[in-house]
Amino acid sequence: MQMPTPDPAILARKDEIVSRLSQVVPKGAVIWDEVQTRAYECDGLSAYRCPPLAVVLPTSTQEVSDVLRLCHQMGVPVVPRGSGTSLAGGALPTGDCVILGVARLNAVLETDYDNRFIRVQSGRTNLSVTGAVEEQGFFYAPDPSSQLACAIAGNIAMNSGGAHCLKYGVTTNNLLGVKMVLMDGTITEIGGAYLDAGGLDLLGLICGSEGQLGVVTEATLRILRKPEDARPVLIGYDSSEVAGACVSDIIKAGVLPVAIEFMDRPCIRATEAFASAGYPDCEALLIVEVEGSPAEIDEQLEIILGIARCHNPVELRESTSPEESARIWLGRKSAFGAMGQMGDYMCLDGTIPVSQLPSVLRRIGELSDEFGLKVGNVFHAGDGNMHPLILYDANKPGDLDLCESLGAEILKLCVEVGGCLTGEHGVGIEKRDLMGHQYAPEDLDIQMAVKDVFDPGWLLNPAKVFPLDYSASRRCAAQ
Angstrom distances, CA of residue 295 to CA of 245, 290, 291, 300, 301: 27, 12, 10, 9, 10
Among residues 189 and 369, whose Cβ is nearest to other proteins? 189
Among residues 57 and 213, whose Cβ is nearest to other proteins? 213
Among residues 50 and 478, whose Cβ is nearest to other proteins? 478
In angstroms, what is the minimal distance from the CB of 96 to other proteins?
A: 25
> Strands 315-318 and 259-264: what pairing?
unpaired
DSSP string for 56-95: E--SSHHHHHHHHHHHHHHT--EEEESSS--SS-TT---T
Q: What is the separation of C-alpha 65 from the centre of its chain, rounded to a whole number of angstroms?
A: 26
In angstroms, what is the minimal distance from the CB of 268 to other proteins?
A: 23
In angstroms, what is the minimal distance from the CB of 31 to other proteins?
A: 30
d(CA 424, CA 198): 26
Q: Is 337 helix (H, G, I), strand (E, B) or coil?
A: helix
Among residues 339 and 465, whose Cβ is nearest to other proteins? 465
Q: Is 268 helix (H, G, I), strand (E, B) or coil?
A: helix
Question: Is residue 99 within 8 Å of residue 57, measured between CB atoms?
Answer: no
Helices 265-275 and 335-342 sit at what angle, rounded to 10 degrees?
Answer: 90
Among residues 122 and 174, whose Cβ is nearest to other proteins? 174
Among residues 249 and 393, whose Cβ is nearest to other proteins? 249
CB atoms within 10 A of CB 207: 23
- Largest pairwise CA distance in the chain: 70
In angstroms, what is the minimal distance from the CB of 208 to other proteins?
A: 5
In angstroms, what is the minimal distance from the CB of 20 to other proteins?
A: 24
In angstroms, what is the minimal distance from the CB of 441 to other proteins?
A: 10
d(CA 316, CA 321): 16
252-286 b/e (C-beta count within 10 Å ≥ 16 → b): eeebebbbbbbbbbbbbbbbbebbebebbebbbbb
In angstroms, what is the minimal distance from the CB of 39 to other proteins?
A: 27
Question: Is residue 154 within 8 Å of residue 85, measured between CB atoms?
Answer: yes
In angstroms, what is the minimal distance from the CB of 297 to other proteins?
A: 10
Among residues 186 and 276, whose Cβ is nearest to other proteins? 186
Among residues 271 and 351, whose Cβ is nearest to other proteins? 351
Among residues 264 and 383, whose Cβ is nearest to other proteins? 383
Angstrom distances, CA of residue 360 to CA of 135, 202, 339, 412, 418: 43, 35, 21, 11, 11
Question: Is residue 207 within 8 Å of residue 263, measured between CB atoms?
Answer: no
Among residues 37 and 217, whose Cβ is nearest to other proteins? 217
d(CA 461, CA 465): 9
In angstroms, what is the minimal distance from the CB of 443 to other proteins?
A: 5
Among residues 102 and 301, whose Cβ is nearest to other proteins? 301
Q: Is 290 helix (H, G, I), strand (E, B) or coil?
A: strand
CB atoms within 10 A of CB 424: 25
Sheet of 108-112: strand order equals 108-112, 117-121, 215-222, 175-181, 187-191
In angstroms, what is the minimal distance from the CB of 279 to other proteins?
A: 25
What backbone torsions phi and psi does residue 69 show, to the nearest 5 degrees?
-60, -45
In angstroms, what is the minimal distance from the CB of 66 to other proteins?
A: 17
Among residues 17 and 347, whose Cβ is nearest to other proteins? 347
In angstroms, what is the minimal distance from the CB of 421 to other proteins?
A: 5
